[in-house]
Amino acid sequence: MKRLALIVASTLLSSIALAQSYPNHPVKVIVPWPPGQATDIAARMLAEKMQEALKQPFVIDNRAGAGGSIGTEVAVKSPADGYTLLAASSGPVSIMPSLQKIPYEPLKDLTLIGLITRNPYALIVSANFPASNAKEFIALLRANPDKYTFASSGTGATAHLVTELFNSQAGIKARHVPYKGSAPAITDVIGGQVDYMVETVASVAPHLKSGRLKTFGVSTAKRAAALPDVPTLAEAGNLPDYDIGAWIGYAVPAGTPRDIVLRLSGEMQKALQAPDLKERLLNAGLDPAAVALEDLPAFMRREQERYAAIIKGANIKVE
């Protein structure tokens, strides 16, 4: 018994020492998207605050490609020592497992240590679209099945699935027009070549302010901080169950020591409470999010199951 107590005490002291000495060299943050994308912006903002608190550089490493799966795989296969973080997000973590074969299992291979943002989407149409609110829009499309078209940044992209859920709950049948990215899709909605789109508030807010687009509501249960005067689609469209948004957070490879996970998660929460970071995120159209560390595994499961149901219900396939 004495020996066991000594072993337990030694292990505990080693864990405390590890957490106290961490980090003692630079930390890499893998962003599986190109610079300037929402995940990259959020990850960089938080990295700046984290390196201030932990007194070591947090270095952004962009590994874009294959819808975020390339960089995610690099992170998953990195040493589980707290020196490689992943800027995780809905696409490669919650959606891809149900859409195509990928070389990792998010629920098994990653530990989510905190959310940074949960990003609302907005239903947008051209400035001269013949509807003035969500109820009129839904009624018009219901009365004309398959006449209208909707754009997305690509088949299986988060925006595509967010729109499919909206269509399903609103009883709408419309034709999908996938693009290679959100920018050309938004341009064609502005021009009227495609009728509507449900895209991130961060991407469409400038066009709404300029008057080139109009919106009928946002996708989350709470109004978007960047568009406080715009109602939710749940209220404006009488869709009480419509509450969906993309998430961005930090994750580490599974097996990372618990004390390091706790240290990183704690510093994340402190950083996200800082008024200057909150303001920067909001100015970028990104709504800060908060989910307790112990609730994150269940959050990941729910998100994956939810997107799997949307993909199955809409029979979405990626060639």
Q: Per the domain annotation, does 14 fall within a domain? A: no
What is the Cα–Cα distance from 99 to 137, expressed in whole angstroms?
A: 30
User: Splitting the chain (319 residues) into consecutive groups of 10 residues, what average pLDDT does each group show?
Assistant: 49 51 97 92 96 97 93 97 98 95 96 95 97 98 98 93 98 96 94 97 93 97 93 97 96 98 97 95 89 96 96 90
SS3 at position 125:
strand
Verify that 139 and 222 share a domain, yes or no.
yes
Q: For position 97, which CATH number holds?
A: 3.40.190.150
Q: Which among 144, 132, 134, 68 is positioned nearest to 100, based on CA atoms?
A: 68
What is the Cα–Cα distance from 97 to 92, expressed in whole angstroms?
A: 8
User: Angle 298-62-81 (CA atoms, 0-180°, nearest 5)?
Assistant: 55
Q: Per the domain annotation, does 167 fall within a domain? A: yes
The per-residue pLDDT for 9 is 44
Verify that 202 and 230 share a domain, yes or no.
yes
Q: Per the domain annotation, does 145 fall within a domain? A: yes
Among 236, 269, 298, give the residue marking a domain's end.
236
Q: Which among 208, 190, 200 is positioned nearest to 126, based on CA atoms?
A: 190
What is the Cα–Cα distance from 102 to 66, expressed in whole angstroms?
A: 10
Among 203, 218, 236, give the residue marking a domain's end.
236
The per-residue pLDDT for 318 is 84
Q: Per the domain annotation, does 4 fall within a domain? A: no
Verify that 265 and 291 share a domain, yes or no.
yes
Among 236, 255, 282, give the residue marking a domain's end.
236
Domain, as residue range, for 261: 22-119+246-314
Q: Per the domain annotation, does 15 fall within a domain? A: no
> What domain count does the chain have?
2
The per-residue pLDDT for 170 is 98
